[in-house]
């Protein structure tokens, strides 16, 4: 699966529906990025770090951020 063009300068993408953050450098089929992009319920995490995503209430994805 390839990185969405709109997020070429970001590594972490948050799903507003589930409060899950995904690593676009390690995206897996199970993350269902196509569904997330179709829903338009996402946001780029800035600053682009997992700790910042956690500060915003997001949990790491168990598929693409196993060790976060």
pLDDT in tens, the chain (68 residues): 667 777 888 999 999 999 999 999 999 999 999 999 999 999 999 999 999 999 999 999 999 998 76
pTM of the full predicted structure? Answer: 0.89
Residue 65 lies in a domain: no
User: What is the separation of C-alpha 34 from the centre of its chain, rounded to a whole number of angstroms?
Assistant: 12
Residue 56 covered by a domain: yes
pLDDT at 51: 96
Residue 19 lies in a domain: yes
Total of domains in the chain: 1
Phi first, then psi, for residue 8 (nearest 5°) are -65, -20
The pLDDT of residue 12: 95
Residue 68 lies in a domain: no
| CB-based contact 14:58 (threshold 8 Å) | yes
């Amino acid at each position: 699966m390839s990185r969405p063009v709109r997020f070429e300068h970001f590594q972490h993408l948050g799903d507003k529906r589930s409060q899950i953050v995904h690593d676009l450098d390690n995206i897996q089929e199970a993350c269902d990025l196509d569904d997330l992009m179709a829903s338009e319920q996402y946001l780029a995490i800035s600053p682009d770090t997992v700790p910042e995503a956690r500060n915003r209430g997001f949990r790491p994805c168990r598929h693409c951020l196993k060790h976060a």
